[in-house]
């Protein structure tokens, strides 16, 4: 069966599914495989629970007339998504970067939705499975698609661009993320820049933060649309006003009061403003969209717990984002506490990076530091204001609620640390 023939069948379905637990009536089920599961085994269950068709790649499970046998389910899934993207001809904005991808994507979605029917990546489903899911969620009514792309090694962004074939692209930044997979900061820049390579090779438009010298240099020969703060010659000028604690900025005589904390979120907001400007969204609508956006999913959330103001930024962490969060905490008033969990995927740089963050935290005007995890436990900092525990269980068993009161508390660590559990203890 050709991809074109499969696509005609797909158009008869309501959506796609890769998990029988999330099946809905009329879906096309793709029997994906992983290290510890074989989706072929669930094809019959998927059909019995409402799927219209099941795409499989093992003859032994071809036991139902609505099973469609292919050579390789994942490859077929990706090819179908790319074919569907070409079929719709919907303008696609691709988005990647070391930090702030999902927040920026949600801000862009909010702004563009003021004028267009917009479909965007759900959550952070931004890998070789998430990107096809996003493309296949688009239909004839979708006027603009926003596709977030994540990567932890070379050639991954290039592969995702080949699937999504974006018309526009934006890289939030280049930071110390996934160093283990990429092999160092220079390799991170090279890997993320694969998006630039695709867009430039196809004469597509790149959105550029003119305050980022790497972005400016990498796109000097590109067709680009730039924005910046106090930079001459940009297409859109956006001024940073303050972040006390929420980011406030001004644009075209309008003052925009966001619900995002930390000056590190200014660039994310500025990108959404600039992209809204490019797509002719009214200034008043841009302002409204950004001011109404409230962060969620443990990303820079402000939560009031008793006498404490919690900055919950526990979705993920790397040295770049950790540094930005600590600098933001220092700017807050009153008693300040940082509860930091280990940063993962740093490879051979892990020991040094954890030591650097611990040293920085100790130098800053932060009253109390709590480090959780083996990497932070092994750091060389020694001070009365530092407490270190090897595991979350050790922290929980020895946690004294009386030491945290009337304070601004930053909670930040990699996803695997799941530091949002601390909220239950406060």
Alpha-carbon distance 244 to 242, whole Å? Answer: 6
* CB distance 162 to 61 below 8 Å: no
116 φ, ψ to 5°? -120, 155
**3 state DSSP class of 373:** coil
Q: What's residue 329's pLDDT?
A: 94
Q: Name the pLDDT band for 400 (thresholds 50, 70, 90).
A: confident
Q: What's residue 229's pLDDT?
A: 95
Q: What's residue 180's pLDDT?
A: 64
CA 347 remoteness from chain centre: 21
Q: What's residue 391's pLDDT?
A: 95
Alpha-carbon distance 96 to 170, whole Å? Answer: 7
- Mean pLDDT (the chain) is 93
Q: Is the confidence at residue 178, as pLDDT, over 80?
A: no
Q: What's residue 375's pLDDT?
A: 96
Q: What's residue 372's pLDDT?
A: 97
Minimal CA–CA distance to 318: which of 365, 263, 363, 356?
356
Over range 183-208, report the average pLDDT: 92
Q: Name the pLDDT band for 35 (thresholds 50, 70, 90).
A: confident
Helix (H) or strand (E) holding 114: none
* CB distance 344 to 177 below 8 Å: no
Highest averaged pLDDT of the listed ranges 186-190, 271-275, 295-299 = 271-275
Q: Is the confidence at residue 217, as pLDDT, over 80?
A: yes
The CATH code of the domain at 3-74 is 3.40.1390.10
Least confident of 139-153, 233-247, 400-414: 400-414
pTM: 0.88
Domain boundaries, the chain: 3-74, 90-292, 301-424
Topology (CATH level 3) of domain 301-424: 3.90.190
Q: What's residue 295's pLDDT?
A: 87
Q: What's residue 404's pLDDT?
A: 85
Residue 234 DSSP label: -
Minimal CA–CA distance to 335: which of 304, 311, 366, 356?
366
DSSP sequence for 160-198: HHHHH--SEEEE----S-SHHHH-SHHHHHHHHTHHHHH
Over range 266-277, report the average pLDDT: 97
Over range 19-47, report the average pLDDT: 91
More confident residue, 147 or 179: 147
Peptide bond into 245 cis (omega under 30): yes
Over range 296-303, report the average pLDDT: 81
Q: Name the pLDDT band for 426 (thresholds 50, 70, 90).
A: confident
Q: What's residue 184's pLDDT?
A: 73
Q: Name the pLDDT band for 34 (thresholds 50, 70, 90).
A: confident
Tokens encoding 341: 């969990």
Q: Is the confidence at residue 121, as pLDDT, over 70?
A: yes
Over range 287-298, report the average pLDDT: 90
Alpha-carbon distance 100 to 267, whole Å? Answer: 9
In percent, the amount of the chain with pLDDT more than 90 equals: 79
Q: Is the confidence at residue 181, as pLDDT, over 70?
A: no
| Domain covering 90-292 assigned CATH 3.40.1190.10 in the classification | yes
Q: What's residue 315's pLDDT?
A: 86
Q: What's residue 416's pLDDT?
A: 92
Tokens encoding 130: 């998430």
Over range 105-126, report the average pLDDT: 95
Q: What's residue 246's pLDDT?
A: 92
């Amino acid at each position: 069966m050709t991809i074109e023939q499969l696509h005609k069948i797909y158009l008869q379905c309501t959506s796609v599914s890769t998990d029988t637990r999330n099946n809905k009536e009329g879906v096309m089920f793709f029997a994906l495989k992983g290290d510890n599961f074989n989706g072929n085994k669930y094809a019959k269950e998927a059909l019995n629970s409402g799927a219209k068709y099941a795409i499989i790649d093992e003859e032994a499970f071809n036991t139902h007339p609505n099973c469609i046998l292919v050579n390789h389910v994942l490859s077929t899934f990706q090819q179908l998504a790319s074919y569907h993207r070409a079929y719709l001809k919907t303008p696609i904005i691709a988005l990647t970067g070391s930090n702030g991808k999902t927040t920026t994507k949600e801000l862009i979605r909010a702004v563009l939705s003021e004028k267009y029917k917009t479909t965007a990546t759900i959550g952070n489903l931004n890998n070789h499975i998430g990107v096809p899911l996003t493309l296949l969620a688009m239909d004839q009514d979708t006027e603009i698609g926003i596709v977030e792309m994540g990567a932890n090694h070379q050639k991954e962004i290039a592969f995702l661009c080949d699937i999504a074939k974006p018309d526009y692209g934006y890289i939030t930044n280049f930071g110390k993320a996934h160093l283990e997979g990429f092999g160092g900061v220079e390799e991170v820049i090279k890997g993320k820049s694969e998006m630039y390579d695709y867009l430039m090779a196809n004469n597509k438009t790149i959105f550029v933060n003119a305050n980022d010298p790497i972005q400016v240099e990498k796109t000097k020969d590109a067709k680009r649309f730039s924005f910046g703060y106090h930079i001459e010659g940009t297409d859109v000028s956006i001024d940073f006003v303050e972040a006390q604690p929420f980011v406030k900025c001004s644009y075209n005589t309008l003052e925009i009061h966001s619900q995002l904390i930390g000056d590190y979120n200014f660039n994310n907001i500025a990108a959404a403003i600039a992209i809204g400007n490019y797509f002719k969204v009214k200034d008043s609508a841009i302002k409204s969209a950004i001011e109404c956006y409230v962060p969620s999913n443990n990303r820079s959330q402000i939560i009031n717990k008793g006498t404490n103001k919690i900055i919950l930024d526990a979705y993920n962490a790397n040295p770049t984002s950790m540094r930005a969060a600590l600098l933001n905490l220092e700017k807050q008033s009153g008693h300040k506490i940082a509860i930091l969990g280990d940063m993962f995927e740093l490879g051979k740089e892990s020991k040094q990076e954890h030591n650097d963050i611990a040293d920085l935290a100790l130098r800053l005007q932060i009253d109390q530091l709590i480090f959780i995890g083996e990497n932070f436990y092994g750091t060389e900092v020694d001070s009365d204001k530092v407490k270190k525990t090897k595991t979350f269980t050790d922290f929980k068993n020895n946690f004294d609620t009386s030491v945290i009161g009337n304070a601004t508390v930053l909670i930040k660590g990699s996803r695997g640390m799941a530091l949002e559990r601390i909220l239950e203890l406060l």
